[in-house]
Chains A and B, each alone.
Chain A
Amino acid sequence: MSGKCFINGIAGISAQLTTDGDAFFDDVVEHTELIFRAIDPDYKKYIKPAAMRRMSKSVKMGVTASQMALDQAGIEMPDAIITGTGMGCKQDSEKFLENILHNDEQFLTPTLFIQSTHNTVGGQIALGLNCKAYNVTYVQAAASFEVALMDAKLKLLEKENQHILVGGIDEIAKNSSRLHTLDGHIKSEPLAVIDLLFSTSSGTVTSEGATFMTVTNDSSNKNIAEILDVTIFNQATPEEVEDELKEFMQRNSVEISDLDAVILGTNGDGDFDLYYHKLQQGVFADVQQIGYKHLIGEHHTASAFAYWLGCKIFNKQQLPEIVKMNKKETSSFKTILLYNQYRGKNHSFALLQQC
């Protein structure tokens, strides 16, 4: 048994035009609101109208992105569906809670309740595929996607020739965004999101999206990338993050000089970007540095998008100017490290290698 974990299909619905097949930030959408939405693909191509009418944005994004990933991998029925979400189906949760308040806890309808749980997306994907296999949703704040991926990697160790659908989904909802503005997690001053990486004020922006991938332990020339390793740790000082990085690299026998690029989750929060800055100015000083949250925004599973970006870079072997964070010029991409944290917590590292 190889114990390996390959990505053989991946799709991302985000606040950029990322479902347009071959495009790679050819046209960049410059968001001007601090709270911005994902760009809708043609959901009707993937979801029957009768099923879609009850779906909130996160369910539509999740079901569509998962089908796109399965199509790319040529898989009709996955052996497991594992999802990660920081906040679940917030829109329907809010509507359901509003109904409870407005109707004095009476006249509650089933649809919003059914659609408001964290595992609604995983459930709807399974219903659409008629997939009765292992189906689990992880809710672990900004490490939700990574925990889902770690579970998938463990399952791939158990049995050969498995194809597992793994995804991260989060959506915007009006009340929770309002609360995050009040508690300072979202910036208070207007900002051109494209300049987010240079921001030094407190807070960040918020957005939504869904990234799904099919992972397999089946060695095939169709595989895009191998996920060599993924790790999470909850809290750490910037110095401890560097120690964790060294240990992570050592256990994978990879040197910093072996990295062709590092994809960072920098989100313009002046209070917490120092985690990235310390690495950027230190161990990553000579590595191609890449950012993406000025394009797709921040949410609990935004880090899943870094995997989409990594795979796109492997396929294209080129880097759009818009994602470059330093002057380093790299022409060949074989090994990429991902690092993400949110507000100094839920740190994650992952190591991708081109197949």
Chain B
Amino acid sequence: MADLQLELKEKIIEQLSLEDIEVSDIDDNDPLFGDGLGLDSIDALELIVLLEKDYGIKLKDPKEGKAIFESIGVMAAYIENNRTK
């Protein structure tokens, strides 16, 4: 799980061009949206594509993303339980 969390942090930093943020700056329990990492609705779409492309998880209802993308920890757990690749 720790490896997956690290991998997710690296992918999010790269995919979302978080230029001034290091892996060590993101706590596993930090909120990704709002006050935490400050991601927005466009980032949410990027994360939905990331889930499908890298882990084979296709969200049927984009609203599910709100809960799944709560934090790195929550996201990693969801991927661990649902990944197809």
Chain B proximity of A104: nearest CB distance (Å):
11
**Would you call A53 and B19 a contact (CB within 8 A)?**
yes
B83 neighbours in A (Cβ, 8 Å): none
**Would you call B46 and A50 a contact (CB within 8 A)?**
no
**Would you call B53 and A53 a contact (CB within 8 A)?**
no
A-B contact number at CB 8 A: 26
Question: How does the 8 Å CB contact mask read for B1-29 relative to A, with 1 for contact and 0 for none?
Answer: 00000000000000111111000000000
Chain B proximity of A58: nearest CB distance (Å):
15
**Would you call B18 and A110 a contact (CB within 8 A)?**
no
In the complex, chain B residues 33-49 whose Cβ is within 8 Å of any chain A Cβ: 38, 42, 45-46, 49
A107 to B58, CA, bound (A): 11
A106 neighbours in B (Cβ, 8 Å): 53
A110 neighbours in B (Cβ, 8 Å): 42, 45-46
The answer to whether A176 has its CB under 8 Å from any CB of chain B is no
**Would you call A107 and B52 a contact (CB within 8 A)?**
yes
**Would you call A108 and B17 a contact (CB within 8 A)?**
no
A49 neighbours in B (Cβ, 8 Å): 19-20
**Would you call A114 and B19 a contact (CB within 8 A)?**
no
The answer to whether A109 has its CB under 8 Å from any CB of chain B is yes
Chain A proximity of B59: nearest CB distance (Å):
13
A108 to B46, CA, bound (A): 9
Chain A proximity of B50: nearest CB distance (Å):
8
Query: Across the two chains, which residue of chain B brings its CB closest to A50?
Result: B38
B46 neighbours in A (Cβ, 8 Å): 109-111
A interface residues (Cβ-Cβ under 8 A, vs B): 49-50, 52-54, 103, 106-111, 114
B interface residues (Cβ-Cβ under 8 A, vs A): 15-20, 38, 42, 45-46, 49, 52-53
Residue pairs across A and B with Cβ atoms less than 8 A apart, 24 shown, are A49-B19, A49-B20, A50-B38, A52-B19, A53-B16, A53-B17, A53-B18, A53-B19, A54-B17, A54-B42, A103-B53, A106-B53, A107-B49, A107-B52, A107-B53, A108-B49, A109-B15, A109-B45, A109-B46, A109-B49, A110-B42, A110-B46, A111-B46, A114-B42
Q: A54-B42, A107-B53 are in contact. List 4 more A-B contacts (CB 8 A).
A: A49-B19, A50-B38, A53-B18, A107-B52
